[in-house]
Structure 1
Amino acid sequence: MRMRATLGVVTGALALSALAVPAAQADEVEGDTAISNVVVNGGKAAVVGATAKKTITVSFTVKDNSGVDWAQAILYHGANIDSSDSGAVANSSDGRATCTVVNSTTSNCKSTFDLEPGYNLINKVVGGWKVWAIAAGNDADYVQKDNAKSFQVQRASKLTVNASPEPVTKGKTITVTGKLTRANWESGTYSGYATQSVKLQFRKKSSSTYSTVKTIKTNSRGDLKTTVTASQDGYFRYSFAGTSTTPAVNATGDFVDVR
């Protein structure tokens, strides 16, 4: 197995070093060792806020006819692990996964990882991440996968709404304002999300279902503003469908009393 001493994955304060990582970027297999069933964060995108770190779990299955000796996973952002610009090693003391024996040939392995704003998360590394994984059998067979699984890391979103005046006379104009923001991992705050399509929706007082009234776009600061004609009592909200970098979010409905 071709091995090297260090992995240079650096973003801000992050430096992953002294890891036993094969030098080759392409997948490698020696013998019958196999990695399968890789699941990251329960199959959901990892949504991270502006300041608090998020711990996610990566699980996978390893098989080898001689039994499983050890396994390890590393998270990274980039075309491949050698050219990555951020990453995370497992929270275990040696960086390896905890593997539970299923039978003489199979083990289920698991690791947790921390994604932390300002440390291994800055705004430019939002989006697609990958899992690099390696596992070895008791007979020294091994498998190394440069991209055992792809997953999304997203900047958490917030959305507000305010419909006024309240109350309002039927037939008069209602102004609906709001703001779409998302986590800024560098400033530790929520910043406006510009030029995004957002739906204005309405729910009758007697209903539990929202219907779309119109679609507008946020301005350069993430602000929303539009007008509608007052017709009946009900709730207005803004609804954002999300993007690959930012999750969907609905504002809490704002009730308007129409008289």
Structure 2
Amino acid sequence: MHHRTTVAGLAGALALTALTVPAAGADEFSGDIRITKVVVNGGKDIVLGTTDVKTFSIAVTATDDSGIETGKTFPVMWHTLLANGDALGLVTPADIAGTCVVQSFTTTTCTYTMKMNPRVHPHDNTTAGTWTVSAHALANDGDYYTRNSAAKAKVLRSSRLTVNASPEPVKKNRTVTVTGALTRANWVTYTYGGYARQPVKLQFRKKGTSTYKTLKTVTTDSRGSLRTTTKTTADGYFRYSFAGTPTTPAVAAAGDYVDVR
């Protein structure tokens, strides 16, 4: 079952007066306080599967000449705003106090633990891609700042890639068939399904070396399956490697060793 979290429900849950998920682009502020930096998941994409809850952090840095009031600086993350005030995929801090570090008299960075559940937060597969972070900060002198689009982050559908080269062993300069499959998380069925019509590189690493070299590009079929042939020249490892898309992360299969005799 998918969930829509309302803005009103969020405000009540946090028991804070200044937070709203923005319906328009204008920030709200009073005084000279500013939110200067927001970092989501250490700058890395958030990759979400079908069952495991993903834990990540959002760090909010704010500055004011009177200093920042800790416990009142917090973020929320969401995918889509609806006309009725609902937000699809609303993610709130696990602890609204966060962990705050005073950088100077004027500047404080507060880091919050966020938890994203693949069976609650993504409304469906269309919510893969770019999400928005809104952040609020309060200064010791009462100045406040709500930055509606403080940061962007990618929430991606986890991907998997397999490979199998056969026959094994094989004589030198003979043909091997390399099969595999590219799948990704489906946030509706909570299974991994084939990723169709995607370019995937077939690569080879010679035994005793550390670098894979690309042999050719193969396109997945309608079920995400891969199949091609190539000649063997030496002992080594075959793998498939996928570069990723705006909704799905890059992934490489573990190498499959072929003994050439």
The interval holding the TM-score normalised by the smaller chain is 0.7 to 0.9
Partner residue of 2:3? 13
Q: Is the 8 A contact 2:89 2:120 kept in 1?
A: no
Partner residue of 1:35? 35
Distance 1:29 1:201, change over 3 A: same
Q: Which residue among 170, 173, 178 is the counterpart of 1:168?
A: 170
The offset of 1:250, in angstroms, is 0.9
Q: Within 5 Å, which residues of 2 pair with 1:212-251?
A: 212-251=214-253
Q: Deviations over 1:159-201 (max 9, x none)?
A: 1100001112233221100001111222222111111110000
Q: Deviations over 1:192-242 (max 9, x none)?
A: 111111000011123221110000111111100001122222211101111
The offset of 1:105, in angstroms, is 2.1
Q: Within 5 Å, which residues of 2 pair with 1:57-136?
A: 57-69=57-69, 70-78=72-80, 82=85, 84-92=87-95, 95=96, 97-121=98-122, 122-136=124-138
With the length of structure 2 as denominator, give the TM-score of the two structures.
Answer: 0.87
**How many residues get paired?**
247
Match of 1:15, SS state, is: strand
Higher mean C-alpha deviation, range 171-180 or range 134-143: 134-143
Q: Within 5 Å, which residues of 2 pair with 1:180-259?
A: 180-259=182-261
Q: Percent identity of the aligned residues?
A: 48
Higher mean C-alpha deviation, range 80-89 or range 32-41: 80-89
Q: Is the 8 A contact 1:233 1:258 kept in 2?
A: yes
Q: Is the 8 A contact 2:158 2:248 kept in 1?
A: yes
The residue type equivalent to 1:120 in the other structure is H
Partner residue of 2:45? 45
Partners in 1 of 2:40 and 2:82 — Cα distance?
Answer: 18
The residue type equivalent to 1:112 in the other structure is T
Partners in 1 of 2:217 and 2:160 — Cα distance?
Answer: 18
- 5+ unaligned residues in a row in structure 1: which ranges? 1-10
Match of 2:90, SS state, is: strand
Partners in 2 of 1:200 and 1:18 — Cα distance?
Answer: 48
Q: Is the 8 A contact 2:98 2:112 kept in 1?
A: yes
Q: Deviations over 1:8-36 (max 9, x none)?
A: xxx81352414143466211222101111
- 5+ unaligned residues in a row in structure 2: which ranges? 12-16
The residue type equivalent to 1:50 in the other structure is T
Match of 2:208, SS state, is: coil
Higher strand proportion (structure 1 or 2): 1
Higher mean C-alpha deviation, range 224-233 or range 71-80: 71-80
Match of 1:244, SS state, is: coil
The offset of 1:37, in angstroms, is 2.0
Partners in 1 of 2:181 and 2:29 — Cα distance?
Answer: 51
The offset of 1:108, in angstroms, is 1.4
The offset of 1:106, in angstroms, is 2.0
Q: Is the 8 A contact 2:23 2:81 kept in 1?
A: no
The CA RMSD measured in Å over matched residues stands at 2.1
Match of 2:171, SS state, is: coil
Match of 1:139, SS state, is: coil
Match of 2:130, SS state, is: strand
The residue type equivalent to 1:91 in the other structure is A
Partner residue of 1:55? 55
With the length of structure 1 as denominator, give the TM-score of the two structures.
Answer: 0.88
The offset of 1:98, in angstroms, is 4.3
